[in-house]
Amino acid sequence: MDLFPLANSLRVAAISTVVVFLLGIALANVVSRAPRVVRGLADVVLTLPLVLPPTVVGFLLLMLLGPRRPLGAWALSALGARLTMVWYAAVFATVVVSFPLMYRTARGAFESFDQTLADAARTLGRSNAWVLWHVKMPCCRQGIVAGAVLAFARALGEYGATSMVCGYMPGSTATVSTTVYQLWRTGDNAGALAWVLVNLAISCVVLVALNVVQGRAAGGRGAASFSPAGSAAEAVAAEAVVAEGGAL
Amino acid sequence: MSLCVRIRKRLAAFTLDASFDVERADRVMALLGPSGCGKSVTLKCIAGVMRPDEGRIVLNGRTLFDSDAGVDLPPQRRHVGYLFQDSALFPTMDVLHNVMAGVREGGRAERRERARRELCAMRLDGVERLRPAQLSGGQRQRVAMARILASDPELILLDEPFSALDGYLRWQLELELVDELRAFSGGAVLVTHDRDEVHRLAQDVCVIDRGQTEPLVSVHELFARPRTVAAALISGCKNVSRARVVGDRLLACDDWGVTLACADAPDARMTHVGIRAHYLTAAPTDAADGRPALAGKGDAAPRPAPGANRIPCVVERVIDGTFSTIVMARTPGGALLRYECEKDAWAALGGATRVTFGIAPECVMPLCEGCAKGGGGHA
């Protein structure tokens, strides 16, 4: 069995999780402190990919990144790089699709963060960056980790948008999920089943990891006071399951 | 130390309009008012974590906020320490790192050294490695205080620092904080709704009611001669009646249906009169002529002489307190009057149902309502 699809899936999911982690925290931090109107608007826009069919995301990405489309044409002429039908094109798809999970979980955690802690730090002379890094992030650790795990899981399982922006090229753009579809379509049920089992194993590991994180949130040391994450993560996890069911 | 505050801020229920000056570093000023009257918002505006709509805040000649000049220093540069009700210690750091977070200057080793010194001064050196959740409420507040002192503030704001504690612990912390504040060279502003705390901890007091501050007075003055209804109520005065001037130093108290003499000519804006429950004297009413019979032996206690003021009442309820007896009595005007005395004193009256209360003219306090800014308030 050629393990390229597994390696590619892990590579894509890992890169996309790093991107989504930074982007999600930055935006969640800004939005959680924004006026209510801005928050409502930002929420709609930033959560949209969670409820859109992945094919719609794929279509919109192709309209943007295709070689004759604005961003794709620019990248081709300026960087000499294609943005579709290459392995890293999958990163664009998974970032868009998994971003809402990170964003919403982190935002939920940030919103239940006790603002007086930040106020206290600022009156003591600490910068806003220090507060985010040393107080807010540690206090919201569970929510942030849960969001990252969910985003990783979602990226790993992404099929619809990925198959549209990078197709299925064995040894080049194949991921676990596109391989399952391709093998089943060509009648290789045994091959497909092998990859299905791989997928199941990874998903179980991820969900166990999520439970461990949330278990710590519920019952860890001095937990109640510094883990405003558990419930938010759970709510988003439920949404995630729905979204993935739709995607696969 | 000098602090000058003139701020306005629109809040959901009312507009905060706070105006006061603190001149002396060796005195603690209290902002006294009921819950939700804008006390904490005022402190937060001084600290810079909330922004007033307009006004000025000047600390030791440094302008912290000035809406006209466009000055709004971030809290980091105000050097104002803020002791929160619930300590606001960082829950993921141990005690030592919490205090180190307060030290503004120096390398890691220096900051650790400074934090250790502050903790030692607070006799907290045994808990350096514990997390805030493992401390008692009183310890948490002391760590928070050590953290504030480590940041070398010019002013310390105390936002109901004892409200999360009760009973004995509260008293312990109060004793310790008084020592800390005495040793501190800057000024302090205490926010509270507890008049006893004001009495014990502060020297000057500014009453705030629905966002309006009254002129700063000494604590003694607040209790001896409150000027407004709000000040009287918050300083513990239990009996207030609408009143009007009907003669030379004679006040008709409409709610009580009696006319009382007072010692000084009342302010023209007087609208109410107040009587403290424990300054009343009581005697059973002699049914024949409506005059009080011989005073009970409880009245031998040093109390103001009843003078000419008499309020004949019918006892409505007798409430047994922990150390005193509270009597609610119906006045001729229909309103209830509250009288408090030692248990023995009430027992000496032998369960009288008709009682005449006496009150010395100097204990009849003329009050005004809605004249908080009386005389020299700011524009």
**What is the pLDDT confidence band of residue B374, given thresholds at 50, 70 and 90?**
very low
Last residue of a domain, one of B198, B231, B264: B231
In a shared domain, residues B227 and B243: no
The residue written with tokens 């997928």 in the block is A199
CATH of the domain at A160: 1.10.3720.10
Q: What does residue B337 show for φ and ψ, rounded to 5 degrees?
A: -115, 140
**What is the pLDDT confidence band of residue A67, given thresholds at 50, 70 and 90?**
confident
Interface of A with B in 25-64 (CB under 8 A): none
CATH of the domain at B273: 2.40.50.100
How far is Cα A19 from Cα B123, in angstroms, rounded to an integer? 47
**What is the pLDDT confidence band of residue B27, given thresholds at 50, 70 and 90?**
confident
pLDDT value, residue B282: 87
pTM tops 0.90, yes or no:
no
Contact B161, B141 (CB under 8 A): yes
Last residue of a domain, one of B206, B231, B256: B231
Report which of B53, B52, B57 is spatially closest to residue B3, judged by C-alpha positions.
Answer: B57
Q: Which two tokens stand for residue A57?
A: 């995301």
In a shared domain, residues B20 and B89: yes
**Chain B interface, Cβ < 8 Å to A:** 44, 47-49, 74-82, 84, 86, 88-93, 101-102, 104, 131-134, 144, 147-148, 151
The 10s digit of each residue's pLDDT in A109-147 is 998 899 999 999 999 999 999 999 999 999 999 889 999
Å between B258 CA and nearest CA of chain A: 51
Of B75, B90, B134, Cβ closest to residue A122: B75
Å between A132 CA and nearest CA of chain B: 12
Q: Is residue A230's pLDDT more than 50?
A: no
Mean pLDDT of B33-42: 90
**CA distances (Å), B27 to each of B156, B178, B185, B365, in order?**
12, 11, 10, 27
Report which of B336, B294, B345, B288 is spatially closest to residue B311, judged by C-alpha positions.
Answer: B336
Q: Is residue B126's pLDDT more than 80?
A: yes
Q: Is residue A237's pLDDT more than 70?
A: no
- Report the 3 state secondary structure along A68-93: CCHHHHHHHHHCCCCCCCCCCHHHHH
**What is the pLDDT confidence band of residue A217, given thresholds at 50, 70 and 90?**
low
Number of domain units in chain B: 2
In a shared domain, residues B280 and B219: no
How far is Cα B194 from Cα B199, in angstroms, rounded to an integer? 9
Q: Which two tokens stand for residue A16?
A: 């996309």
For B175, other C-beta atoms within 10 Å of its C-beta total 10
- ipTM for the predicted complex comes to 0.78
Boundaries of domain holding A194: 4-247
Q: Is residue B83's pLDDT more than 70?
A: yes
In a shared domain, residues B87 and B202: yes
CATH of the domain at B96: 3.40.50.300
Contact B180, B129 (CB under 8 A): no
Boundaries of domain holding B165: 3-231
pLDDT value, residue A34: 87
In a shared domain, residues B223 and B253: no
Chain B residues touching A127 at Cβ < 8 A: 76
Share of chain B above pLDDT 90, in %: 51
The 10s digit of each residue's pLDDT in B211-245 is 999 989 998 989 888 889 988 988 889 999 999 99
Average pLDDT, chain A: 86
Contact A165, A61 (CB under 8 A): yes
How far is Cα A149 from Cα A154, in angstroms, rounded to an integer? 9
pLDDT value, residue A218: 58
Contact B51, B70 (CB under 8 A): no
Strand partners, B65: B57, B72
Whether A226 and chain B come into contact, CB under 8 Å, resolves to: yes
Strand partners, B319: B326
Number of domain units in chain A: 1
Q: Best mutation site among B76, B87, B148 for testing chain A: the one with the most A CBs within 10 Å?
A: B76
Report which of B348, B344, B310 is spatially closest to residue B329, judged by C-alpha positions.
Answer: B310
Å between A186 CA and nearest CA of chain B: 54
Which DSSP string corresponds to B328-349? EEE-TTS-EEEEEEEHHHHHHT
Higher pLDDT, B91 or B343: B91
Contact A93, A59 (CB under 8 A): no
Chain B residues touching A123 at Cβ < 8 A: 47-49, 75-76, 78, 80-82, 151
